[in-house]
Structure 1
Amino acid sequence: MSLFWRIFVLNAVVLGAATALLLWAPVTVSVPVLLTEAVVLIGGLAVMLVANAALLRIGLAPLARLTRRMSTVDILRPGQRLAVSGHGGVPALIRAFNDMLDRLERERATSAARALSAQESERQRIARELHDEVGQSLTVVLMDLDRAADRSADPGLRAELAQAQETTRASLDEVRRLAHRLRPGVLEDLGLVSALTALTTELADHTGLVVRRRLESGLPRLDEQTELVLYRVAQESLTNVARHADAAGVDVALTGHEESVVLRIQDDGRGIGLAHEGAGIRGMRERALLIGATLEIGAAPGGGADVSLTVPLHRVGGDHAAHQDPARR
């Protein structure tokens, strides 16, 4: 029975009961209406309205649940589905909504994969240009300044050239650091653990944060895409700690379990509170969806932020792992 006919029948039952009561009840209506008769009629009307409201609430309860879920659903948090229940056209509507979420999640994952692939390609191109073009140009400038300083007999000029050399050398180091952040060559050459070690060491050197590492070396084999997602999530999390957390220390752990690999980053800063998720966190959620992982962001025991990325091993095993170079482990 469709939703229309269900509502129609509910109202027909109420009105039929009221009609039967008027036909066969030993109650008559006088002209003019007496007070006791008015009380009976108003009481009957109130009973009909209450009964009708209760029946409609029961019949439309699944639609209310569907409305609440539609207003809160987030396709970056997959698996949010409604249990199919109710009668009439309600189950069909809920199933259609669940199917729509399935299609949206698949399409979002596909588009995110293309976007992130293009983003990584662009990162590599920029890193290559920084290293090959800007880096080499600064190296040439540094060599020219060094030769000019050796040839100059003026102590004041030599001091200025030495200052220019230091500025150029610092700029060259910054270009190399940016190129390294855009394209982590150590990840491709030595693997995830070495890349995370280098990342945390660089963070400690540049920010003064106390970084405590617990990186297991005997992890299961991970494909390149999964390693890249783990690295980027760690990179974004540590960047957020350095910029916004006002923390003194941060713990970075990479552990392997029977069915998953878990990356966890906890700081002792101000925490996330009720802050709105920005582009960085949304980007981490998209990367997690790309490999079927689960990203959880909450409060750390010490009051800071706790970022946890859980990668199921059934997603990263199989053919992907079989083609990975064992030397990278």
Structure 2
Amino acid sequence: MRLYWRVLVINGAVLTAATLALVVAPVSVSRHPVVSEAAVLGFGLFLMVVTNALLLRSSLAPLDRVVREMASVDPQRPGRRLKPPDSGPGRDLVLGFNAMVDRLEEERSMSNAKQLAAQEAERHRIARELHDDIGQQLTVVLLGLKQAEQRAPAELADELAALRESTRDGLDDVRRVARQLRPGVLDDLGLASALASLTHDFAEHSSASVRRVVAPGLPPLSSDTELVVYRVAQEALTNAARHAGASAVELSLTKVGDRVVLEVADDGRGFDVRRDGAGLRGMRERARLAAGDLTVTSSPVGTTVRLEVPA
């Protein structure tokens, strides 16, 4: 029975019972009610209200429970569904809510996939332009400065040499940024080599020491999954250097059962994992695209990011 008809039947039953009680019971009310008659009417009204409240509570209590549980659903942690009651209007509400969440999560996943694909395409375009255009132009400038240094008089040689070294540093920075935007080594040599290059660059530009452990004989992953693992490792290392102020970081890639596990642990300042920033949300969204699970644990003396993806 739908909620509207259930409430209507309950109220009708209470009013019918009160009417029958007035007809059958030896109770009458004079034109000018006395105190005893008013007391009887008040008691009857109180009894009607209490009876109605008790009967309605059995029907509406499941709705209150469903509303409270709806408030605890976190869109950042999908997969949780409400358990429907065995019967009553609350069951239809829970089933409808679960179906709505299924549709929203599916649409969110598709939207995130398109967004991340567009982001990777833009990263690839910028990296290609940096490497092919700006990198080549700086290379030409570098060669020109070298020739000019050889032909220049002695009093200008030192200045040209310093300018050439500055140009070389700029070219190295352009190449480094291009590698960060689109790791060509990931496409050419695979995930293990890409992680080795990533930790090497991190150690060069950070004061933290890095220990890398890659287990031998890891099963192959799809190119999309490898990119997810690489981006999560990149974000975790960036957070360790930028926010945690870590002095030591350990990155490991191992196989546990039928899953490949990436762990990035640091000894820096911890944070409240319940307050997800843009970086953590991005890592969680990437993990979901690879059907993986991301867990982040943090304490005052360190943080561990763990990503599990199916092999």
- Range into which the TM-score falls when normalised by the shorter chain: 0.7 to 0.9
Per-residue CA deviation, residues 251-305 of structure 1 (Å, 9 max, x unaligned), is 32222111322222222222222774233222222211212112222324x6433
Q: Which moved more, 1:233-242 or 1:243-252?
A: 243-252
Q: TM-score, normalised by structure 1?
A: 0.83
In 2: Cα distance, 1:199 partner to 1:18 partner: 80
Per-residue CA deviation, residues 88-110 of structure 1 (Å, 9 max, x unaligned), is 44323322222222222222222
The 5 Å alignment of 1:235-314 reads 235-273=234-272, 276-300=275-299, 303-313=301-311
- Equivalence for 2:82: 82
- The structure showing larger relative contact order (alpha-carbon pairs under 8 Å, at least 6 residues apart) is 1
In 1: Cα distance, 2:109 partner to 2:129 partner: 30
The 5 Å alignment of 1:164-203 reads 164-203=163-202
- Equivalence for 1:134: 134
One-letter amino acid matched to 2:224:
Q
Residues 59, 88 of structure 2: 8 Å contact kept: no
Q: Secondary structure at the match of 1:297?
A: strand
Q: Tell me if 1:15 matches 2:15.
A: yes
Gap change, CA 1:135 and 1:8, over 3 Å in 2: same
Q: Secondary structure at the match of 1:263?
A: strand
Q: Which moved more, 1:110-119 or 1:165-174?
A: 110-119
One-letter amino acid matched to 2:3:
L
Per-residue CA deviation, residues 205-231 of structure 1 (Å, 9 max, x unaligned), is 211112233322222221111111111
Residues 253, 265 of structure 1: 8 Å contact kept: yes
- Which 5+ residue runs of structure 2 have no aligned equivalent? none
Residues 273, 298 of structure 2: 8 Å contact kept: no
Gap change, CA 1:225 and 1:24, over 3 Å in 2: same
- CA deviation after TM superposition for structure 1 residue 86, in Å: 5.1
Gap change, CA 1:283 and 1:18, over 3 Å in 2: same
Residues 62, 86 of structure 1: 8 Å contact kept: no
* RMSD of equivalent CA atoms: 2.5
The 5 Å alignment of 1:307-322 reads 307-313=305-311
Gap change, CA 1:8 and 1:184, over 3 Å in 2: same
In 1: Cα distance, 2:259 partner to 2:144 partner: 54
Q: Secondary structure at the match of 1:238?
A: helix
In 2: Cα distance, 1:192 partner to 1:114 partner: 23
Q: Percent identity?
A: 54
Residues 207, 242 of structure 1: 8 Å contact kept: yes
Residues 247, 269 of structure 1: 8 Å contact kept: yes
Task: Count the aligned residue pairs.
Answer: 310
- Equivalence for 1:316: none
Q: Secondary structure at the match of 1:174?
A: helix
In 1: Cα distance, 2:230 partner to 2:40 partner: 75
One-letter amino acid matched to 2:287:
A
Q: Secondary structure at the match of 2:205?
A: helix
- Equivalence for 2:5: 5
One-letter amino acid matched to 1:119:
Q
- CA deviation after TM superposition for structure 1 residue 69, in Å: 4.3
Q: Which moved more, 1:168-177 or 1:203-212?
A: 203-212
In 2: Cα distance, 1:310 partner to 1:122 partner: 27
In 2: Cα distance, 1:258 partner to 1:183 partner: 30
In 2: Cα distance, 1:283 partner to 1:226 partner: 15
One-letter amino acid matched to 1:107:
E
Q: Tell me if 1:144 matches 2:140.
A: no
Q: Secondary structure at the match of 1:134?
A: helix
- Which 5+ residue runs of structure 1 have no aligned equivalent? 314-329
One-letter amino acid matched to 1:166:
E
- Equivalence for 1:326: none
Per-residue CA deviation, residues 224-258 of structure 1 (Å, 9 max, x unaligned), is 11111111111112112211122222232222111
Per-residue CA deviation, residues 163-190 of structure 1 (Å, 9 max, x unaligned), is 2122111111110101111111221222
In 2: Cα distance, 1:94 partner to 1:138 partner: 62
Q: Secondary structure at the match of 1:221?
A: coil
